[in-house]
Amino acid sequence: MTRYDSSFREPPWVIGSPKETFDWLEATHPSKKEKDDEDHKEKYLTNLHIKFDFDVGTKEIKSDCIFCRVAGLFKQVEEDFDLLSATELILRGLAKAKFRNTVKIVVDNNILYEHPEKKSDLRKTIDDIGEFSSEISKGKNVEITAALKEIEKCLATIKINKIHSTKEHSVDIFIKGKIREDIYHTFFNYLNEKIGLKE
């Protein structure tokens, strides 16, 4: 509908109801709230399994079995990193990624710490890691289980192997459940910055 017989379509406030006016304004200039909602849609990652190595030197461990050496089976390597400091850095990375509960710490299949009932003990575990320093330093592998209770419960199991077969990696992370993509990237970037990783 136009006045003066022109082809120019006039805005609804010239001849129209307040609802038509608002609809016309929203169509031509969307509100800031709608734009922000589109930008901040959270993406989730489900049941992640990540494996990587530290960017450190390795040395091959010879097998005692002569047949294994000849056939090339069971080749193992020892990586040149301190297991205690790697454990502490991974715990700090979990804390930075908003994990709150340390469910369990296992060294060489011996449980050192297990408190799934505590809601917020990860920071205290980092502060008290010195209590387990002798066991962790002498160990070959450490397994950390931590919980993130955000929208849905998410359980991260991280295995750090100082000595492992050539087919395995020094760090094996399995995250069961849903985790926000930005939280995962915060954790992974922290590890990459502090330790140096190679995939």
Residue with tokens 């010195």: 130
With residue 24 as reference, give the H or E element that holds it: helix 18-28
Q: Read off the pLDDT of residues 43-63 as tens digits, 9 standing for 90 and up.
A: 888 888 988 887 778 888 776
Domain boundaries of the chain, sorted by first residue? 1-41, 44-198
Token pair in block for residue 6: 């022109």
**One-letter identity of residue 110:** N
Q: Read off the pLDDT of residues 177-195 as tens digits, 9 standing for 90 and up.
A: 888 888 888 888 888 887 7
Query: Residue 73 and residue 95: Cα distance in Å, rounded?
Result: 39
**One-letter identity of residue 157:** T
**One-letter identity of residue 197:** L
- Look at residue 101 in the predicted model and tell me its pLDDT: 86
Q: Read off the pLDDT of residues 107-161 as tens digits, 9 standing for 90 and up.
A: 998 998 888 777 777 888 888 888 888 888 888 899 999 888 766 678 889 999 9
Cα–Cα distances in angstroms (integers) from residue 174 to residues 17, 46, 178, in the given order? 58, 10, 12
